[in-house]
Amino acid sequence: MPNNVNLGIARTVQAALMHTTNNGLKFGRYGALQAMLSPAVAEVRSQISPYGPKDTTSVIWGTVPGRDIQVPKVQVNTYPARLVTGYDERTRDLNGEEFSDPLTVDVAYDFYKEIKINRQIAREFYEPKAIAYMENLVSGKISEIGEPKYRALVDRLALQVMQDFDSGIAKPFAQYVLSSLIARIGKNAAAPGAATPTAAAPLVDVPTFNADRSLKAEFWDFINETKIANKISGNLIMIGGTLAQRAMRREGILAINDAGYNWGTMFGRTPVDFYYDELIDVVYGAGQILLIDSGAAAVETFCYADFAEKFGDPTNSDDTVDEKARIMFLSLPEEESILQNVANSYIRDVDVRVTRKRDANDFAVATATIALPAGMYIRPNGWFTEDTNNILHGVSGIFAAKLIAS
């Protein structure tokens, strides 16, 4: 047979093609998720992490709607600018303003998804070459747990985890992030009169392409004016779909074969970090983009295995082990990292529970559960000022625009 590798257990003649170009593991391109885990928002992520703050008043464990077990909630706060009246003359009046109370935001780690996969030894009479082949496919993409007795995340099971992870965890996670961002779109000081669909969350039309399909000046004008009017430092994060991808290609940022981004061009010539998201055209609308300042939003994950003492030490019972593993999200086909100067993946720790039992025929069965808990911070309105007449009161740092193709 081709490659002399048989991936089946019934000795069917089958070519092992998963290592060849365009036949390997494929994952969704979830730009919003990647952006909210990117280095641009690393400072915010460090502040909302349940691992970071040690003050017990900063991290609270409790219940939230939709979850049956306790989750961490991280409190962050600020002191918005106040609207006060200045005195016209030096005076002995002692009726000054008292300190204001902080604006407090709870970052609840309310997202949770897990997948379960059975490993039945009775169904795994694989050839040694097939096992080695599958281990090679997942090599570097998922880590093994430490307990030799529960060794599970290898060969066929690890491959199945990688194949199920996208639909079972990564895509719902990406939808959670993208929907949360869309729900918190705020005003844009660069378009104070915009009121469609609402004045609080306007969607601004931006002429984007000329008749010859080149970019119009209005495209970059709008982005630069958004930065200046909303007093933003550094690059904006731009999340978009097909039209945004087309605009980046016209600018020479996206490689002609869509293999990745030219970061040197992006950083040197544009005021944005662009992330293509395959969901946004459907979830939000065709041609619609999000512009986000780097302090406005971020997402972070955690593992229950790191907080076992809070749950009566459920780890490592006679038939179950609770540990962590690391899993790789592939945001671009894996071979493309050598073609473009861009990381094609991002890695997160995940909870792993492996339970061993016996089936009806007294064969060993191991059930591996892979879980990803997470939470998201989005800056609330009123963060900068208490003055409701100041447009910055309604600025969340998430801005929306609709790219007009012609």
Q: What confidence tens digit (pLDDT) does each residue in 368-390 have?
A: 888 999 999 999 888 888 888 88
- Residue of higher predicted confidence among 299 and 14: 299
What is residue 403's DSSP assignment? Answer: E
pTM of the model: 0.81
Other CB atoms within 10 A of residue 318 CB: 5
* Arithmetic mean of pLDDT over the chain: 77
Sheet containing 71-78: which strands, arranged edge to edge? 59-62, 71-78, 103-108
Other CB atoms within 10 A of residue 349 CB: 16
* Prior bond of 197 cis (ω within 30°): yes
How would CATH label the architecture of 189-298+391-404?
A: 2-Layer Sandwich (3.30)
Q: What is the arithmetic mean of pLDDT over 186-206?
A: 94
Q: How far apart are CA 384 and CA 199, in angstroms?
A: 19
Q: What is the token pair recorded at 362?
A: 């007294």
* Prior bond of 202 cis (ω within 30°): no
Domain extents in the chain:
189-298+391-404
- Say whether 291 sits in a helix, a strand or coil: strand
Q: Rg (Cα) of the chain, in Å, rounded?
A: 25
Q: Is-contact 321 145, C-beta < 8 A?
A: yes
> H-helix or E-strand containing 61?
strand 59-62
Q: Is-contact 143 391, C-beta < 8 A?
A: no
Q: How far apart are CA 175 and CA 184, in angstroms?
A: 14
Query: In which residue are the tokens 């894996």 written?
Result: 334
In this structure, of 145-159, 183-197, 211-225, 298-312, the range with the lowest mean pLDDT score is 145-159
Q: How far apart are CA 256 and CA 50, in angstroms?
A: 41
- Say whether 245 sits in a helix, a strand or coil: helix
Residue 2 is predicted with a pLDDT of 46
Alpha carbon distances (Å) from 187 to 75, 192, 274 = 25, 7, 21
Residue 334 is predicted with a pLDDT of 41
**Pick from 197, 342, 130: which is nearest to 255 by CA?**
342
